[in-house]
Amino acid sequence: MTDVTAPDSDDLVLAAEFPAATRQQWQRLVAKVIGVDGDAPERKLATITGDGIEIEPLYVGDAARPAPGFPGQSPFVRGRGPAGNRGGWDVRQRHQHPDPAVAREQIKEDLEGGVSSLWLGLGDGRIPVDALPDVLAETYLDLAPVDLDAGAQFARAAEAFFDVAAGRGVPPGALAGCLGADPLGVLARTGVEPAPTTVADMAGTGLAAAADLARRCAADYPGVRAIVVDALPYHEAGGTDAEELGCALAGGLEYLRAMQAAGLSAEAAFGQLEFRFAATADQFATIAKLRAARRVWARVAQQCGVTSDAGGQWQHAVSSWSMLTRRDPWNNILRATLACFAAGVGGADAITVAPFDAAIGQPDKLARRIARNVHALLVEESHVARVIDPAGGSWYVEDLTERLAAKAWAWFQEIERSGGLRAALAAGLVAGRLAASRERRRDALARRREAVTGVSEFPLIGETLLSRQAADRPDRSPTGLPRIRWSQWHEELRDRADAHALATGSPPTLTLSPLDASRASVARTGQVAALLAPAGIITITAAPEPAAGRAPDGAGTTPSGGPSAGPASVVVVCGSADASADEVRAAVDRAREQGASTVVVAAGDPQGPAPGADERIIDDMDVLAFSGRMLDALGARR
């Protein structure tokens, strides 16, 4: 046997005493374990993403895969700069409290607590544009970059910001940040194009106004970008990662054309763009998305003849609004931590973490403190920023990056064939595509193929909801893309249950009736109780009926939600899958005799009939729809 403790070279070969295993040997072992024959039995272990990308159970080196290049070099997959995020990223926090004094104090707290740049929501129920001098009174504009988000009022907000800087004597070259001009984003959110602000912009799209700001920044404010390509509206409307990237590509290209028409060179135009993407708790998907975004944008740059560093995409990652929950919101801290980690590893230049209570209302002081400390923990204690491109070389991440880039490019080309993003939005192409993706995701949640911890799975029963000051959200309208949270459909059911409890003095409650005292029946009652709990439905377990010829093999039943049940309006008959049709029918008849108006069967052959019952619980059923019907039967109003 080779003495691996004393290698005769500088190379350490792990497991050198064993012969190399082949992929075919591994496949034979997989086939034996899962009982599947064929050339690629491991395909049974693969999962499919919302973009139709197959996630394989095992990745190995493949020389045919495109080289990701080096950090700071085209195609910028491994980072926009040569150092990547080594040393940390720009910690950017959002502020939009409508009271200027409160906003100013929150900004001061955040800057003193480690935030390095500001993202200001302006106008229409947020920070008044005219209040910018007051809100930024204690902010050193030559030290803290400022990003503006004023929606359709972007030109007015930019002028107000420049006036504040000039009034305080800040040199134009010392300013940094982004003016947030995004007329296409306004169109996506609201369905309404920003009104023209200049004679040259009579087309009404706001593109000329945005291009004019870009030309001004390129000439006078070298540290300020004028335009943001905000992909959040597409993500928040239910879009997949590839759809988010494809829309961002199409928007960026439309802005490039407008800037070049305004007289900017291609290189100068690329330098005026900032991209904003959502970061989710799916860490590998987020890492790959940011890497793929830089790859496809570098391809656009190449096609435009830009070969300099200007082709490196400037990215602002924001923890996803769609993944936030109102119920059990403390889990949002964990989601935000994963999202921030993924954005940092994926190479985002700036990262915003939403406070855990953002979906409830105005975040409180504790929530904002935790949001900014997420960055500090990851950088200072977890040392995430000590390595350049930590995910580089992972065959899984590299493969997912390439496949996602290809999917995004195909969607981008479809948008371009329709006439560009503005035309695609106006024609409903984007809305239709996102609606289909949204419905697929909702269906997966409804059928428990996906989960929202603390809401659709493991709900916090009897929780007291947090109360926060209402937050105005003027950036959505019925004519624009919807803004979806993945927990909202389950939360709507819980809201119905809570309203019923408030009106009647007791929560909606149904009875679980086990066929017998067997372990299978007891286990089934637990499964049904867990199925209904996310809708706020309380279950009580009736004493099992004695069954002839069956001896109890368990310890009996224990009430799952209270004392043994008497007559009930809704009864679920629970038992094992091998229960006979006669046993199930007898249990249904007993429930009817005892006054049940609705009887559901969760016993016997799941594919067989349920004579006398109103419906049957089966695997992969639409639990959202079923729970809604149970609330209807229990008298909980919609």
Residue ranges of alpha helices (H) inside 314-465 are 331-346, 365-376, 395-417, 421-427, 429-446
Q: Which domains does the chain have, with CATH numbers?
A: 90-426 (3.20.20.240), 490-633 (3.40.50.280)
HSE-up (13 A, CA, CB side) for residue 556: 5
Tokens encoding 249: 């590509």
**What are 421-437's pLDDT values in tens digits?**
999 999 999 999 999 99
**Beta bridge partner(s), residue 510:** 539
**Section 612-617 average pLDDT:** 93
Query: Is pLDDT above 60 for 200?
Result: no
For residues 131 and 122, is the Cβ–Cβ distance under 8 A?
A: no
**Residue among 161, 153, 162, 159 nearest 181 (CA):** 153
Cα dihedral 588/594/596/602 (nearest 10): -30
pLDDT band for position 62 (cuts 50, 70, 90): low
pLDDT of residue 256: 97
pTM (2 decimals)?
A: 0.91
Give per-residue pLDDT as tens, 201-218: 434 468 999 999 999 999
Residues above pLDDT 90, as percent of the chain: 76
- Mean of pLDDT over the chain: 90
pLDDT at residue 167, rounded to an integer: 95
Residue 269 to residue 263: CA distance in whole angstroms: 9
For residues 82-93, give the mean pLDDT: 91
pLDDT tens digit sequence for 547-576:
444 444 433 334 444 333 334 699 999 999
Cβ–Cβ < 8 Å for 628, 637 = no
Give residue 561's pLDDT.
41
Rg (CA), the chain: 29
